[in-house]
């Protein structure tokens, strides 16, 4: 357990045994102490995403034996045609048969990669949906713990779990009802669209458990305990790997679910993770302990949770909706561009998740320091978390630039996937230069959420996506744009690289906005 605590004799009775800030410990050590478990957890989660992408990239759509038998039968048929005096036509078809089979395999390999790219984006919808409870949980519990009000922190935890159940049920119903329509809106076509829908169904069916897991971990983070999140979510990631591979290929009496098995393994691992979180909280951890009598709605706590979480959730969902709009532009470029886009995003997660780890530390320390009426210490914690996180993310950027070809080759082992590599390497190298701006966006977003400042960042999101990324993506990816009464305007036709240039511009501007907002210090006076 992460203990950030005063000596017992120095603490007032209300705070003994709770996780409150030790302001005698250097801030750098506090940030690292909170960040390293989340960083380990995030890399385990990333390993799951990369493993899933590896499975999709190496999946043989048609078993080789079945393909050989079908091809042999086709050749026999063509031979019979030759005996009937149609040898010339048969010879032509015989020559074309292997080429046609190869083209079909190539198309299906790329379809699986494209389907997973869209499924990956829609998984972000689920993660952003959990923000409706997780951000408020961390911010409110951190304030109560920093103020020494442990009873209120415990009550807020119970209300967060109740809210998680409600949001989970609503999300499952809405997700299953609108899934296929949403995929259609994203411009994914043919077999890739069918595969993406099948992939996401298990995640929506078991969504409630993922939100419970997220809410419980968020409350513990607010109390200063990031290690439990490491053990729980790290365990989820470790379990996810064998579950995904086993359900994908089939093990013993368990049938092979194929592509859908990857997501089924993920959903089942989150179910186990939610049970682990509830078990930890039932036994008591970080001063938080569950009691059945407290599982009744309390409007005051729910109102305060939602007052923080709704703007944060709206911000996250705005980002996701903007990302989905952006994806629809990429999907119109074809399955090769969509596949390359998804692989590049998966590797970019190395930088993003590093920033999220230091952002989590900032969110906890900012919230607890403000609860303890120490706004200067809150600011110092935020800046130190940013400095450390930005350094790590810039190192990741160097890795992206140097090793981009090898990073793509890991997921594109078949010769027919070479166009994906050729398309994706330049965009991964481009995003390497955006890492400082990404660090500003991610880490300061978390820090502001810890302070309860969740409304103004929504404006930054809208400006970045609606003012820059989406318009630029249309201009930079198309031959021409039909602007109605304004006529036909020429486009740059830079394909996927143009789309990532638009993303690059968005990240630079939003990063500058978040840097300014945190530096202004206006978040220090917000009430939660």
In Å, the largest CA–CA distance within the chain is 102
Q: Are 121 and 319 in contact (CB under 8 A)?
A: no
Give residue limits of the domains in the chain.
8-61+119-525
Say what the pLDDT of residue 256 is: 76
**Of the candidates 166, 171, 172, the residue with the CA atom closest to the CA atom of residue 129:** 171
Alpha-carbon distance values, 228 to 101, 164, 184, 284 (Å): 51, 19, 39, 12
Beta-carbon contacts of 231 under 8 Å, excluding residues fewer than 6 positions away, are 276
Give SS3 for 308. helix
Beta-carbon contacts of 64 under 8 Å, excluding residues fewer than 6 positions away, are none
Q: What is the mean pLDDT of each run of 10 residues along the chain (528 residues)?
A: 35 39 66 82 70 59 48 47 46 47 56 67 77 88 88 94 94 85 71 75 90 93 85 82 79 77 85 94 92 92 89 83 87 86 86 87 88 89 94 93 91 76 93 94 92 86 92 89 73 90 95 95 84
Say what the pLDDT of residue 275 is: 95
Give SS3 for 189. coil
How far is residue 99's CA from residue 145's CA, in Å, rounded to a whole number? Answer: 67
> What is the H or E stretch that residue 482 is in?
strand 480-482
Q: Are 435 and 472 in contact (CB under 8 A)?
A: no
Say what the pLDDT of residue 9 is: 32
Q: Are 451 and 457 in contact (CB under 8 A)?
A: no
**Of the candidates 46, 41, 125, the residue with the CA atom closest to the CA atom of residue 347:** 46
Beta bridge partners of 254: 251
Q: Are 456 and 517 in contact (CB under 8 A)?
A: yes
- What torsion, rounded to 10 degrees, do the Cα atoms 425, 430, 433, 434 define? -110
How many C-beta neighbours within 10 Å does residue 522 have? 13
Say what the pLDDT of residue 353 is: 82
**Of the candidates 184, 186, 504, 492, the residue with the CA atom closest to the CA atom of residue 338:** 186
Beta strands in 377-430 (DSSP E): none
Helices (H), 284-298: none
Q: Is the dihedral of CA 372, 373, 375, 376 positive or negative?
A: negative
Whether this prediction's pTM lies above 0.95 is answered by no
Say what the pLDDT of residue 20 is: 46
- What torsion, rounded to 10 degrees, do the Cα atoms 73, 75, 77, 83 define? -150
How far is residue 368's CA from residue 53's CA, in Å, rounded to a whole number? Answer: 38
Task: Output b/e per residue, 347-386; b: 16+ Cβ within 10 A.
Answer: bbbbbbbbbbbbbbbbbbbbbbbbbbebbebbbbbbbbbb
Alpha-carbon distance values, 484 to 39, 474, 480, 481 (Å): 49, 15, 12, 9
Beta bridge partners of 481: 489
Beta-carbon contacts of 368 under 8 Å, excluding residues fewer than 6 positions away, are 4, 20, 21, 142, 143, 145, 146, 224
Beta-carbon contacts of 31 under 8 Å, excluding residues fewer than 6 positions away, are 358, 361, 362, 365, 381, 384, 385, 388
Beta-carbon contacts of 518 under 8 Å, excluding residues fewer than 6 positions away, are 379, 382, 386, 444, 447, 448
């Amino acid at each position: 357990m992460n203990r950030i605590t005063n000596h017992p004799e120095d603490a007032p009775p209300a705070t003994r045994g709770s996780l409150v800030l030790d302001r005698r410990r250097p801030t750098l050590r506090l940030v690292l102490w909170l960040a390293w478990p989340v960083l380990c957890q995030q890399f385990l989660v990333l390993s799951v995403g990369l493993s899933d992408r590896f499975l999709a990239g190496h999946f043989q759509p048609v078993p080789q034996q079945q393909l050989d038998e079908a091809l042999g039968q086709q050749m026999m048929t063509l031979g019979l045609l030759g005996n009937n005096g149609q040898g010339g036509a048969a010879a032509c078809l015989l020559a074309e048969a292997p080429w046609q089979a190869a083209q079909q395999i190539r198309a299906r390999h790329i379809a699986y990669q494209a389907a997973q790219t869209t499924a990956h984006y829609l998984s972000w919808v689920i993660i952003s949906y959990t923000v409706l409870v997780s951000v408020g949980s961390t911010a409110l519990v951190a304030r109560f713990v920093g103020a020494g009000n442990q009873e209120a922190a415990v009550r807020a935890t119970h209300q967060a779990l109740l809210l998680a159940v409600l949001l989970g049920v609503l999300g499952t119903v809405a997700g299953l009802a609108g899934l296929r329509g949403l995929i259609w809106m994203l411009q994914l076509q043919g077999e890739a669209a069918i595969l993406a829908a099948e992939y996401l169904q298990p995640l929506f069916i078991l969504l409630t458990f993922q939100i419970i897991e997220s809410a419980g971990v968020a409350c513990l983070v607010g109390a200063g305990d990031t290690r439990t999140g490491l053990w729980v979510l790290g365990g989820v990631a470790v379990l996810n790997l064998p579950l995904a591979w086993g359900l994908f290929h089939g093990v013993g009496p368990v049938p092979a679910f194929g592509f859908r098995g990857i997501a089924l393994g993920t959903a089942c691992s989150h179910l186990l993770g939610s049970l682990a979180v509830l078990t930890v909280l039932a036994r008591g951890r970080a001063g938080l302990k569950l009691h059945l009598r407290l599982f009744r709605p309390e409007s005051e706590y729910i109102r305060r949770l939602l007052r923080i979480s709704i703007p944060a959730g709206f911000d996250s969902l705005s980002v996701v909706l903007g990302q989905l709009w952006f994806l629809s532009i990429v999907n119109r470029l074809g399955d090769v561009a969509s596949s390359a886009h998804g692989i590049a995003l998966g590797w970019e997660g190395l930088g993003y998740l590093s920033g999220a780890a230091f952002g989590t530390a900032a969110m906890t320390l900012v919230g607890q320091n403000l609860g303890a009426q120490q706004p200067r210490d809150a600011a110092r914690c935020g800046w130190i978390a940013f400095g450390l996180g930005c350094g790590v993310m810039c190192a990741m950027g160097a890795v992206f630039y140097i090793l981009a070809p090898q990073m793509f080759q890991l997921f594109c082992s078949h010769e027919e996937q070479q166009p994906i590599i050729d398309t994706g390497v330049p965009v991964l190298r481009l995003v390497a230069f955006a890492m400082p701006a990404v660090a500003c966006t991610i880490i300061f977003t978390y820090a502001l959420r810890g302070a309860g400042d969740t409304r103004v960042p929504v404006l930054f999101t809208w400006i970045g996506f609606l003012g820059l990324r989406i318009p630029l993506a249309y201009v930079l990816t198309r031959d021409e744009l039909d602007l109605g009464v304004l006529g036909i305007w020429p486009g740059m036709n830079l394909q996927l690289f143009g789309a990532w240039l638009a993303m690059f511009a968005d990240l630079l501007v939003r990063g500058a906005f978040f840097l300014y907002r945190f530096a202004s210090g206006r978040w220090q006076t917000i009430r939660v």
